[in-house]
Amino acid sequence: MSQPLLSVRDLRTSFFTSRGEVQAVRGVSFELRPGEILGIVGESGSGKSITCMSLLGLLKSNGKVIAGSALFEGEDLLQLDDRDLRRLRGDEIGMIFQDPMTSLNPTLTVGEQVIETILRHRRISRAAARQRATELFELVRIPSAAKRLRSYPHEFSGGMRQRVMIAMALSCDPKLLIADEPTTALDVTIQRQILALLRELQSRLGMAVILITHDLGVIAETADRVLVMYGGMVMEEAPVRRMFARPSHPYTRGLLASIPDLRDGTHQRLTPIPGSPPDMRRPPAGCPFAPRCRNAMAQCVKALPPIYEVDAGHGSRCWLHHAEAPRVEGINELVPA
């Protein structure tokens, strides 16, 4: 197995608000290999975005990384000073955000916003940067690229703006691209185009991608490996096919059960997960999912389960994987084929 590009260990991030400390991320660990697409899935407030914002030092001023390390090519991102972090941002690590309508500065041309990124990290002339920006626009398939550099964001549609964001994030050939809900704000048809574009660019340029989303469909289509987050923790981690074929955590199973199945033509009711996510100001001592879990046991409320390796590369944070736990079909008891 190749050396990981990014190795996050026990990341903890909190927000200090007037109403107390909100523990948004509580000990997240994962690895990312070069050229891999890692999907992070979870509902709002699960800590998936905050995990990535912590890596790049982009937290709002009341947010603070409390513990952990994040080795990126041997350098700990969490220990870098502002200067070195700024050098990495936009150069080695590119980032795309959720809402392309608000993520671009309305008073600058889109070309300028790409060019300034290139000029920040490369010692080249403005003309060369402009040339590079034109190529990037062609790469992300913005029609009449050279001309469109002079347009302002409001003259673009949402999908086109997200293409600009992608061009900007890729402008310095990053080794890692973090895409935070890149398609959430877009129409379904545009979502497809953007995902296809991301996948194509990834295989062409070979960078690693962290794809944050709450949409399992996006994960299924795009990712190589998946982290399922809940209550600021990783609940399950698995290769994407395995995750959909054999989910091992009750939460993941609940998520998959709440996806409508259109194939069999029967009109089944969706199976929701009852309850709401935990209050991160007073996170539960045990498993954060226990209050909503249909398989919860007394042990689940008392203590946080460790991550059990249920198969190679497949981990699941659930007491049911304990040797003495009762057998539950599908989780620790294989369904007969």
Partner 1 sequence: MTAYVLQRLALMLVTLFAIITLTFFLMHAVPGGPFVSDKMMAPEIQAAINAKYHLDDPIWVQYLNYLRGIATFDLGPSFKYAGMSVNEIIAQGLPTTLKVGVLALICVVSLGVPLGIVAALNRNRWPDTLVMVIATIGVAVPSYVIATVALYFFALRLGWVPTFGLDDWRGYFLPVFALSGFWISFIARLARSSLLETLQMDYMTTAKAKGLKPGQILFKHGLRNSLIPVVTVLGPVVANLITGSFVIEQIFALPGIGRHFVLSITNRDYTAIMGITIFYAAVLMVMIFIVDMLYLVLDPRIKYREAR
115-134: contacts with partner 1 (CB under 8 A): 116-117, 120-121
In b/e form, how buried is each residue of 164-174, taking b as 16+ CB within 10 angstroms?
A: bbbbbbbbbeb
What b/e string do you get for 20-30 counting C-beta neighbours within 10 Å, with b at 16 or more?
A: eebbbbbebbb
Interface segment toward partner 1; rule CB under 8 A; list 42-50, 109-117, 242-250, 324-332: 109-117
Q: Can residue 229 be called a binding residue for partner 1 (CB under 8 A)?
A: no
What is the Cβ-side half-sphere exposure of residue 234, based on CA atoms within 13 angstroms? 25
**Using an 8 Å Cβ cutoff, are 68 and 11 in contact?**
yes
| Cα angle 75, 80, 84; round to 5 | 95
Q: Shortest distance, CB of residue 126 to partner 1, whole angstroms?
A: 15
- The verdict on 140 binding partner 1 (CB under 8 A) reads no
Collapsed DSSP state (helix, strand, coil) of residue 157:
coil
Q: According to the binding rule CB under 8 A, does residue 103 interact with partner 1?
A: yes
Binding residues for partner 1, rule CB under 8 A, total 27
Residue of 91, 215, 224, 237 interacting with partner 1 (CB under 8 A): 91
Minimum gap (Å) between residue 173 Cβ and partner 1: 14
319 binds partner 1 (CB under 8 A): no
CA gap 279, 292 in Å, rounded:
13
Smallest distance, Å, CB 25 to partner 1? 18
Which two structure tokens, joined as six digits, stand for 9?
Answer: 């260990």
CB of 77 to partner 1, least distance (A): 13
Show the binding pattern over residues 33-62: x = contacts partner 1 (CB under 8 A), - = does not. Answer: -----------------------x-x----
Distances (CA, A) of 56 to 53, 123, 200: 5, 23, 25
- Interface residues with partner 1 (CB under 8 A) are 56, 58, 86-91, 95, 97, 99, 102-109, 116-117, 120-121, 152, 154, 165, 168
